[in-house]
Chains A and B, each alone.
Chain A
Amino acid sequence: MVTAERVWAALATVTDPEYPLSIVDLGMVYDVHVAGADVTIDMTFTSIGCPAIDMILDDMRQAVTLVEDVRAVHVNVVWSPPWTKDRITPLGRRVLRLHGVVN
């Protein structure tokens, strides 16, 4: 059976293309809805002009499609509420600091 927990775990394997940090730790995933075998993900990007939008969407779809029993993945990109640095998790902050990104 598909559960939201499994989808979250799959999303935690999707990293930012530049830094070894997951989109979950970056606070980009807002919500996961599971209806039977169909998954809908509400998420945002750190900026409207993010150059990695296509790459991250591809990686998300691929990761979630690999979750057992998942049939369809819908990614719903939203801009409200807007992403801010406050959404980065404490683990995410440590990883970024390690790579010289000040926050």
Chain B
Amino acid sequence: MTAQASPNAAEQDLIDRINNGFMVECEEDMTPKYKNALITQLTVQGDTELLSAPAYYLATRDAPTINSRIAVTAIVHDELGHANIAYRILEDLGVDRQWLVYGRQPNEFKHPYGFDQPLENWAEMVVANGFFDRAGITLLSDVHQHTSFGPLKRALVKVDREEVLHLRHGESWMKRLAKAGGEAREALQRAVDWMFPMTIEWFGLPDDLKRHSGQLVYRLKGKTNDELRQTWMSATVPLCEGIGIAVPAHLDAATQAYVLDYPFPCQYDPEAKRWLFDQPLTWDQVFDRWKARGPMNERYIEMLQGRKDGLFGGRTW
């Protein structure tokens, strides 16, 4: 709506052409506003992939077998590759790739709050694959399907294929832990308890509060936040119900939409890894929590960037 509210001719012309199926291929095809919206989208995308790597990497140590450790190490490798794909495209748009990885402060990265949290056991690792990577596929397959930017559409073919593998890894292990019963099952339930609302929040502002979306106007994505949240729940809620793991959401028979069983959004206690369902928040308060970043933010960035007193003496490559 921002773009349409101030309809200069070039802007409206681009939007019209995009609506008629025009694919943007290079900077000359863009308006400055289109370019800014694309840069924001790619930065979030790249940073999310990048920060999943140190989070998952620390949890590879909890893998119960050598084959499963190889599998999650390969996932870390894939995620770094996906980050590079987004950053490489940003480079073509004039953003310095070195700066993206090494030049920013920890709190300047644009990944979701979920990747500021520690993954402390194998159950949390596989729920991350089952929930966070499902969120990644939900978001990126929508971009792949709808984006008006040709280079990204082509690049996402490889990303989507690899994310499907991560998801399968996560879901098959979730089933296995549920079936094992006992402590494994309890750890799985504990992981789901904090990671389900974490992923729900990841999809951002609900549609009735969303003021405008350049991403939708320029067809950089197709679905709204609420639609994406529904898509994610339509896969995740039945998965958990099928293995007897409780989630705070259910399918409403009348509307055939998934409904959350807690006040959304609400407060999170990162030390206890617990959602405080009795403390509802405004979205401004959520944004403050996100901006303050979570407990692992500095550690993860330090792992990626190196540190002055560390092994490589603060060298940036």
A residues within 8 Å of B by Cβ?
Answer: 17-19, 49-55, 58, 100
Contact = CB atoms under 8 A, between A and B. Distances in A.
B107 to A, nearest CB: 33
10 contacts: A17-B164, A17-B165, A18-B161, A18-B162, A49-B74, A50-B70, A51-B71, A53-B67, A54-B65, A54-B67
Interface of B: 65, 67-68, 70-71, 73-75, 157-158, 161-162, 164-165, 168-169, 172
Given A18-B161, A18-B162, A51 B74 contact: yes
Nearest to B68: A54
Contacts of A53: 67, 70-71
A11 to B, nearest CB: 19
A49 B70 contact: yes
Given A18-B161, A18-B162, A51 B70 contact: yes
B168 A51 contact: no
A51 B161 contact: no
Contacts, number: 34
A55 B65 CA distance: 13
A51 B68 CA distance: 8
B178 to A, nearest CB: 16
Given A49-B74, A54-B67, 16 more contacts: A18-B161, A18-B165, A49-B70, A51-B73, A51-B74, A51-B75, A52-B71, A53-B67, A53-B70, A53-B71, A54-B68, A54-B71, A55-B165, A55-B168, A55-B172, A100-B157
A17 B162 CA distance: 9
Interface centre among B67, B74, B157 (most CB of A within 10 A): B67
Nearest to B154: A100
4 closest Cβ pairs, A-B complex: A51-B74, A51-B71, A53-B67, A17-B165
A102 to B, nearest CB: 13
